[in-house]
Amino acid sequence: MLLRFTKMHGLGNDFAVIDLVTQHARINADLVRTLAHRNFGIGFDQMLVVEPPRSPDIDFRYRIFNADGSEVEQCGNGARCFARFVRDKKLTHKKRIRVETSSGVIELSINGNNDVSVDMGIPQLSPSQIPFDAPPVKADTYPLDVDGQTLEINAISMGNPHAVLLVDDVDCAPVAELGPKIEHHPRFPQRCNVGFLQIVSRNEVRLRVFERGVGETLACGTGACAALVAGRLRGLLDQRVTAHLQGGTLKLEWQGDNSPVIMTGPATRVYEGQIRI
């Protein structure tokens, strides 16, 4: 059968978006890995799947598959592309939509300048909710042993688990070396995304992210949200921050405590295609 898809990106974090509202296909890990191949398939960091809602107060169901075939809970750059996709395809005429993910409901708002704002939900800091192997009382930072070296990290869930560590300069950060070791660290039973955070000022940061199941990407929306929370927990950042990633810039806001993180940024359509599966 022929499967229609749209290639999109959010700051260079690229996706194949599949509409399973108007067409039918069975998505499994083998198919995702085949299509994700950058030489023999479409090539993408994640596949985003649009499905009908399972509840009358929800507009769509949103599923995310990493390039290695694993299904994950959340993707912030993908959420912005998801919002633009369903509007471009006229699957909805709403400017504010409620979307079900495996980690809960998120709200997406399409702004007048075609940027998309995403209510990413309240950060989860309790070790059992991340999940992260630590005493049950949450802490702002945790020591993490990696090859005999003790790193100080923040452990945060933005619907998916993140480890964030401070670096002096992201250009020199050991992303390729430490990224996979922290991603697969036994204290993160579901693996994790790894953020390397450079504080520029109280309202500006630079960030590189090694994504779980993907490797380093040009941008990571949930990683940027986790970085803001980490910087706030350390007392280094104000509630509104501009985050510079390798693929571009995001605007972030977190008022703290039980407030959600709001992320605003672009979503770009690259091309339409179809592929035989």
So which residues are the catalytic ones? 75, 220
b/e burial code for range 244-267 (CB count within 10 A of at least 16 → b):
bbbbbebebbbeeeeebbbbbbbb
Handedness of CA 26, 61, 211, 117 (dihedral sign): positive
Helix (H, G, I), strand (E, B) or coil at 177: helix
Question: Taking the mean position of all CA atoms in its chain, how far away is CA 53?
Answer: 21
Task: Say which residue the tokens 């994640």 belong to.
Answer: 46
Place of tokens 């499905």: 51
Residue 258, both tokens:
């039980």
Assess contact for 252 and 113: CB atoms under 8 A.
no
What is the 3-state composition of the chain as percent helix, strand, coil, each rounded to the nearest 5?
20, 40, 40
